[in-house]
Structure 1
Amino acid sequence: MTTHSKYFYPAAKHLRCDEVIHIGKNCWESTIWNFTGTILSCVKFVLPLALIPIIMKIRNLNKDVFMQSFRIFVDFFFGAWLVSGLGLSSICLFRRICGVFYYYTVLAVPAGLGAFISSWIISERAKHHYAHGLSTVAFQVSITRGDFYIFKLLRNSRLAITIAFMALNATLMHGLRENHTGRFYWLTQPLKSKTEYHEFYEESAVMDKISPIVRSQIKCCAHEDSCDTFIFNGIKKFFKFGVGLEIARHLIYNYSRILRNPLIIFNVFFKQLNWNLVLFLVGYVGVYRFIYCWRSRRNIYLCEETSKKDNQLASLMSGLVFYLYPDQSIFSHTVITIIEIYWTHYYEQIKTFLKWIPLEKINMIHVVFPLVFGYVTHIRTFYPYLAPAIQKKLMHLSTNYKDAAIFTAYHKFLFGLTPQFLL
């Protein structure tokens, strides 16, 4: 970043808004377009995400499922549209206030301001999902460009990132098990020890052969169904979830192609789906549930400490499946989720330790959301080779490709390049 910042001001001090931000328009016309020209593209951006509940429950569709999908669409659309419009319009604002383009007032600060204002207006669900997603991208960029030895090891060694994921997964699942203050979304929720022992038993043909229980009249696990059903239902659910995610991803990447030629949908969905992701999801939940049931059957009367250890063992071993799909975005998502869980769990201790900061008066989402959005937007423009492909595509859709136009104009004026290969 030092090289860019050093030479940016001399090269950009004479640039005007209409040379790089809104060529052929004045600032007011550009502002109107920022809020009108992005409506359809934001619909394209959000629609695949809103369809996931329908895909997940395709065999049990009802009014509630469609209403859930519609609410997701409205919340996420309004959030993407407002953040995009305010962020793009703030570029001209800072150009007029400062008189020139500075390195960080080109996109980072305007994007952060747009996110900050939006965080007070959009729904809780939308801003938390966007903040979480952007934080994941920011951490992924840190892995990609970080000079620390641990970052180099994580991006260059499949074994190292798998071992790290195993440890993180055990930490995360322990935090989920201990959490009583909030709802955190993870691939699966940990089981807890039984509070009562039911004097009946539901047959599990497979698990009975692998690990027969001593007293056949005792229900050994905390889940409601038989062990076979519990494991199979998890595998089936995450198979559908994985396929749904892949369909949503391909809809985002191939939206225009599918509209031009709907028949291509079969080629996109059935030949290009990333089955390694689906295999990871299925294997992860399958291994976790199998090991936990197997351990529960070995000691029917689980005490709390034994149950915690079984949860940690099952979490650790299920992390091995990451070797099949060592994706940095999943790894980064794990890290960010751990931070969220333990921040909530130890909030009172943190507040006491940082007593010079009035944390009770600060909603951290109003701090995190602008910071990470400004950071990833800055990276997208000046270090596009570090930005994940999905981030580029989502920014294209949420801004109706205005980000690509700005990106191209800056690089053309500053470096004499038209970097189409980085768009």
Structure 2
Amino acid sequence: MTSHSKYFKIVTENTSCADFVHCGNSCWEMFRWNALNLGYGCCKFIGPVSVIPILLRFRELNTDLIKQCCKKFLEYSAAAWLMSVIGLSFMCCYYKLFGKFYTWSILATPAASSAVICSIICSNRLILMFSRGLSSMVTEAIVKLYADDFVFLRLLRDSPVALTLAFMAANTSIIYALRQIKSDVFWFIQPYKVEQSISPAEKVPSPIIDRILPTEMQYCQHKSSCDSFLQHEIINYLKFGIGIEFVRIIFGNAKHIARRPLKFFAFEFFQKIKLNFVGFLVGYAGIYRTLTCFLTRLMKEDSTNNHLVAALISGTTFYAYPQLSLFGHAFTTAVELLWSIYFIQHKGVDRKQKSIPFLDKIPWSRIIYPIFFGYLCYLRPFYPWATPKIMMSILRGVTLNRESQIMKAYCSRLMSCSDPNVLYLFGMKE
């Protein structure tokens, strides 16, 4: 894969922000248009994400849950609108400031600058959520970008088996950490916490599990029988997977549904469901919960080792849906949780070691957020094949395809100066 940065100087010679950023309109007209219209694009993009909590907790639907989802929707949409308007405007500002475009000033620095402003204004919870998402995407981008230079990264990119093994290790680390500490990170399953003293309870009959591995007492932490508990978990994750797919298909094909709804739901809807994703979720939860029950019955205690073995084996279901983006989320979640455990264990143990309290005072999410966002925006024009698809979708969605127009203008000038097939390398069609 080639980098487009070597063509950048040729393409941007004798050009201004009117040739790329706003394509003929003045800077003020572009700013006014963005301020008035990008809010719609941000709300349209954030809307499906805000609906997911309602779908997951539909049986518990109440006024407080709706208010909470509406509040998050407005907060996320406002933050996305602010970043979009400021980022696009800063592209003009940096051109006026330096007199020409640089590889770092056309997208990366404006994006990072808008993220810095957003991180100052927005809440810690919002910035933390954004930084976690960007960390996952940066992990995916690094694997794609440096896979040809490092054997391990090449295996992660090209081998589903290697990616599954890496996911199994990350999943085991996550389950171990979630057993030890309380965290608000999103993971597909929440294990029971480590209890200092657990006394066996009176046995709750489980006709199916008792036939396979009978026990005299109730050693599991769940209150119901193992049969009921496993059935409840599997059904919930099946609903979760189908709900996610339903939202993805509906919002991803809204225009097509509006034109031909009957044809879409009769012939195309079920074909678009990713059964491997649903199978991964159901299999992951089913294997993990089933193994923890069996191992707890076998060992007659709910130990951490039981959960680690179950987590390792349940991670094999990742092979049904071996997505690099999903591994990126698992890797960054494991790193965050393991660092939290390390900090908790060493905080106050050695008072002479001043690095731990110092590192705790650093607002990592507010530092990571602008750096990672700027880095991903830098990859977009110069390494589009390494840019995560979800990042491209975000940029297109929150800018109402302004980002695509900028890239098309850049590509058209690039094609007139170099390889006519370069548009393909940008992941864009002629």
TM-score by length of 2: 0.89
Residue 380 (1) aligns with residue 343 (2): no
Contact 1:53 1:68 in 2 (8 A): no
Cα separation, partners in 2 of 1:419 and 1:7, compared to 1, 3 Å: closer
Q: Which residue of 2 aligns with 1:312?
A: 308
TM-aligned CA deviation for residue 178 of structure 1: 1.8
* 1:325 pairs with one of 301, 321, 328: 321
Cα separation, partners in 2 of 1:374 and 1:338, compared to 1, 3 Å: same
Q: Which residue of 2 aligns with 1:334?
A: 330
Residue 247 (1) aligns with residue 246 (2): yes
Q: Which residue of 2 aligns with 1:395?
A: 395
Q: Which residue of 2 aligns with 1:204?
A: 206
Contact 2:4 2:383 in 1 (8 A): no
Matches within 5 A, 1:50-129: 50-129=50-129
Q: Deviations over 1:235-269 (max 9, x none)?
A: 12211221222223224432333344444552554
Report the Cα distance in structure 2 between the residues aligned to 1:251 and 1:353, rounded to whole angstroms: 54
Number of equivalenced pairs: 415
Equivalent position amino acid for 1:274 in 2: K
Contact 2:220 2:301 in 1 (8 A): no
Question: How large is the Cα RMSD of the aligned pairs?
Answer: 2.5
Report the Cα distance in structure 2 between the residues aligned to 1:356 and 1:273, rounded to whole angstroms: 47
Unmatched tracts of structure 1, length 5 or more: none
Contact 1:166 1:319 in 2 (8 A): yes
Report the Cα distance in structure 1 between the residues aligned to 2:218 and 2:357, rounded to whole angstroms: 50
Cα separation, partners in 2 of 1:247 and 1:353, compared to 1, 3 Å: farther
Contact 1:20 1:409 in 2 (8 A): yes
Contact 1:239 1:282 in 2 (8 A): yes
Unmatched tracts of structure 2, length 5 or more: none
Q: Which residue of 1 aligns with 2:184?
A: 183
Paired residue secondary structure (1:15): coil
Contact 1:177 1:192 in 2 (8 A): yes
Report the Cα distance in structure 2 between the residues aligned to 1:367 and 1:2, rounded to whole angstroms: 30
Q: Which residue of 1 aligns with 2:423?
A: 419
Paired residue secondary structure (2:18): helix
TM-aligned CA deviation for residue 391 of structure 1: 2.4
Equivalent position amino acid for 1:369 in 2: Y
Percent same amino acid among aligned pairs?
34
Contact 1:84 1:398 in 2 (8 A): yes
TM-aligned CA deviation for residue 312 of structure 1: 0.7
Q: Which residue of 1 aligns with 2:158?
A: 156
TM-aligned CA deviation for residue 356 of structure 1: 11
Report the Cα distance in structure 1 between the residues aligned to 2:392 and 2:262, rounded to whole angstroms: 26
Q: Deviations over 1:114-156 (max 9, x none)?
A: 1111112223333222221222111111122222110111111
Equivalent position amino acid for 1:205 in 2: P
Residue 4 (1) aligns with residue 8 (2): no
Q: Which residue of 1 aligns with 2:21?
A: 21
Q: Which residue of 2 aligns with 1:230?
A: 229
TM-aligned CA deviation for residue 2 of structure 1: 8.7
Report the Cα distance in structure 2 between the residues aligned to 1:192 and 1:210, rounded to whole angstroms: 26
TM-aligned CA deviation for residue 37 of structure 1: 1.6
TM-score by length of 1: 0.91
Paired residue secondary structure (2:120): coil
Equivalent position amino acid for 1:45 in 2: F
Report the Cα distance in structure 1 between the residues aligned to 2:354 and 2:395, rounded to whole angstroms: 36
